[in-house]
Amino acid sequence: MKTIEYKLIMRAEQPIAHAQESLGNVSVLARRKVRRPGGGFSLVPYVSGDAARHQLREIAARMTLDAIGLHSGMSQGALRLLFNGGMVTGKGDATTVNLDRYRELVALFPPLALLGGCTDNRPMPGTLEVGELNLICRETEHVMPAWARDSGVGPLDSARDHVEQVTRTRMDPTLVPERVSLLSSDDAAAIHARTAKSAKAHEDGDAVVASESKSAMMPREHECIARGSLFWWDVAARVYSDAEETAFRAMMTRAMAGIHVGGKRATGHGLIVAIGCMTPQAEASPEDYARHINREALRAWLTSGVNS
Amino acid sequence: MIGEHPATIAPMVVTARLEWSIVLNDPPMLDSLLAWVYAARANLLAPVGPEQTIPIAVPLAEQDGIRLASQGIAGTPDAYETRHKHRRAPWPEYARMGSVRLRRCDMAAGPDKSYRRPYVVTVVEGDAIHWYALGDLDMVRSLLRDVRHVGKHRGTGKGRVREWSVEACETWPGFPVARDGRPLRPLPVSWPGIDPGARSGFRVLTPPYYQRERELPCLIP
């Protein structure tokens, strides 16, 4: 058994919209309680270990599929195992695996040993320990590990300084005359009638009719962690074979180049990259990892009907 | 049988200083942490049922088959937080990479049921959990170096241990499993020296403690 640990300083290359809940039209950042040195707690934004761990799972799954050149035709059970870790049914049917089958699957797909999966009727823990991404700020200075403090992170700002509130609006195309002109005459007339009804309701102060005839335009707000914010992150795994070690190193090499966490990824949010590894590690490429895979056997299993 | 028996026996207090918060129902048992280290070193998978369980010796004293170590003592929690565990069926992957036979994905029931399950994260008093035990200090100290997290959701950073300390300590009547007539861990109902008014319930007496099918009537803390 060997334990490999990555201690990383990560930087938000894009704003991070890792929300915890919505209050009305406002999406609120995930925050955690941090004990203050003088008593009491501060709420500090963070990125959950679950979000980070799922990124490692996605990296492993996609790296494996690239290695065997398989991008279609897979069974539902196989995809669920690769991207979700499987499922618990409470009975040993074909969509679950027993311990012996689990060992065979680990040999076929080494990241399963790191990430864990499901056996007969309970989840099988993996050997990967993914820490939360902790914001480097004044509120966390006293709990920051020495290796993070020694990484030269510079003067610290308060957690509140790292949070920005952004307003966006989903426009209603029926409010734009040139788009309304594209509608059929009946639909255009209905839009004009609704607009007139809404205007009259506002003049009359009739809230019920105003609500019924309002447009679909929706302003909304979200909080995000500002671009350039720094986090400390540690990830460790117990490995028992060359295949597991290479898989872990390849996953982490890819993750250090950048992972996406949180929402709004389609609009330039969520990219975090490593700017320093305080425990220098050997790198591994997807090609190194591919050498440990039995491509034919894995391809046959992923496309077989027995696991769906 | 794997593991090791104690070479020497001495009273000790074990302390886990936590880096952050922890997820737990009951504080973990010390012998389960030590057994886990031997199992992890041997790359054993967690047994699903009692028939798959392999006995693991740990460097703690025993009496009537019970390891002489208290349950973790975590004091009064200083704060709680509610977090959520999410599971979402990988339907975009089903659509893009699934076979042609894969035509629907039921996210409300069955194997692809998606959920947002709440759980409670606890900030324990003084960020520390203590155990009292009789056993081999050096062996326990050496084994606990491999335990980086305690409690639930360890794989996602909860219950991270900043440091372990294992020190010799004073004893008292009933040490280390009872104090002032109150059990400090689940004990058989016939255990001597326990106050008749002590709480009772169903618990597992030996690791792995999650196998609830092995529960017995016990005196509990």
DSSP sequence for B141-169: HHHHTT--B-SS-GGGTTTBEEEEEEEE-
Note the helical H segments in B65-215: 91-97, 137-144
H/E stretch holding A209: helix A207-212
Distance between CA atoms of residues A188 and A6, nearest Å? 60
Closest CB to B93: pick one of A50, A79, A121: A79
Q: Touching check for B107 and chain A: CB below 8 Å?
A: no
Instruction: Tell the burial category of B62 from Cβ atoms under 10 Å away from its Cβ (0-12, 13-18, 19+).
Output: middle
Facing B155 at nearest CB: one of A73, A82, A125: A125
How far is residue A246's CA from residue A283's CA, in Å, rounded to a whole number?
9
Cα separation, B180 vs B191, whole angstroms = 14
Q: Contacts of residue A1 in chain B, CB cutoff 8 Å?
A: 40-41, 43
Q: Given the structure tokens 């400090």, which residue do they identify?
A: B184
What one-character DSSP code corresponds to residue B98?
B
Residue A289's nearest CA partner among A65, A14, A138, A98 is A65
| pLDDT tens sequence for chain B (221 residues) | 899 999 999 999 999 999 989 999 888 999 999 999 999 999 988 887 788 889 999 999 999 999 999 999 998 899 999 999 998 899 999 999 998 888 888 999 888 889 999 999 999 999 999 999 999 999 999 999 999 999 999 999 999 999 999 999 999 999 999 999 999 999 999 999 999 999 999 999 999 998 889 999 999 99
Q: How long is chain B?
A: 221
Per-residue pLDDT at A122: 66
The Cα A221–Cα B146 span in angstroms is 45
Q: Of the candidates B81, B94, B97, which has its C-beta nearest A32's C-beta?
A: B81
pTM, rounded to two decimals:
0.91
User: Which of A73, A82, A116 faces B99 most closely, judged by CB atoms?
Assistant: A73
3-state secondary structure labels for all residues of A101-164: HHHHHHHHCCHHHHHCEEECCCEECCCEEECCEEECCHHHHHHCCHHHHCCCCCCCCCHHHHEE
Pairing mode of beta strands B115-123, B79-87:
antiparallel
DSSP, collapsed to helix, strand or coil, labels residue A255 as helix
CA atoms A95, A101, A102, A108: torsion sign = negative
| Binary contact (B86, A50; C-beta < 8 A) | yes
Residues contacting residue A300 through CB under 8 Å, at least 6 positions apart: none
Cα distance from B197 to chain A (closest Cα, Å)?
Answer: 37
Interchain proximity A35–B123, CB inside 8 Å: yes
CB pairs under 8 A between A and B: 120
pLDDT score recorded for residue A95: 46
pLDDT in 10s for each residue of chain A, 308 residues = 899 999 999 999 999 999 999 999 999 999 999 999 988 999 999 999 999 999 999 999 999 999 999 999 998 888 988 998 877 655 544 445 567 777 888 888 999 999 988 765 567 889 999 999 999 999 999 999 999 998 888 889 999 999 999 999 999 988 888 999 999 999 999 999 999 999 999 999 999 998 888 888 999 999 999 999 999 999 999 999 999 999 999 999 999 999 999 999 999 999 999 999 999 889 999 999 999 999 999 999 888 865 54
Residue A94 token pair: 């074909």
Q: Which two tokens stand for residue A51?
A: 């979000």
Instruction: Name chain A contacts of B157, Cβ cutoff 8 Å.
Output: 48-49, 129-132
B-chain residue closest to A2, CA distance: B41
Between CA A250 and CA A285 the distance in angstroms is 5
Helix axes A295-303, A49-68, angle to 10 degrees: 110
3-state secondary structure at position A296: helix
Q: What is the ipTM for the molecules in this complex?
A: 0.90
User: Least CA distance to B101: which residue of chain A?
Assistant: A75
Chain B CB contacts of A48 under 8 Å are 83, 156-157
**Alpha-carbon distance B53 to B177, whole Å?**
25
**Residue recorded with tokens 């707690």:** A41
Task: Return the closest-CA partner of residue B11 out of B139, B93, B156, B132.
Answer: B132
Taking the CB of residue A113, how many other CB atoms lie within 10 A of it? 28
Task: Give dist(CA B33, CA A36) in Å, integer.
Answer: 30
Spatial separation of the C-alpha atoms in residues B142 and B38, rounded to whole Å: 12
Long-range contacts of A291-295 (CB under 8 A, 24+ apart): A291/A246, A292/A110, A292/A242, A292/A243, A292/A246, A292/A247, A293/A64, A293/A67, A293/A68, A293/A108, A293/A109, A293/A110, A294/A107, A294/A108, A295/A67, A295/A68
- B99 interface with A at CB cutoff 8 Å: yes
Residue A16 DSSP class: B
Residue in A75, A80, A127 closest to B90 by CB: A80
**What backbone torsions phi and psi does residue A257 show, to the nearest 5 degrees?**
-75, -20
Are B53 and B36 within 8 A, CB to CB? Answer: no
For chain B, what is the radius of gyration of the CA atoms?
20
3-state secondary structure of A217: coil
> Amino acid identity of A57?
R
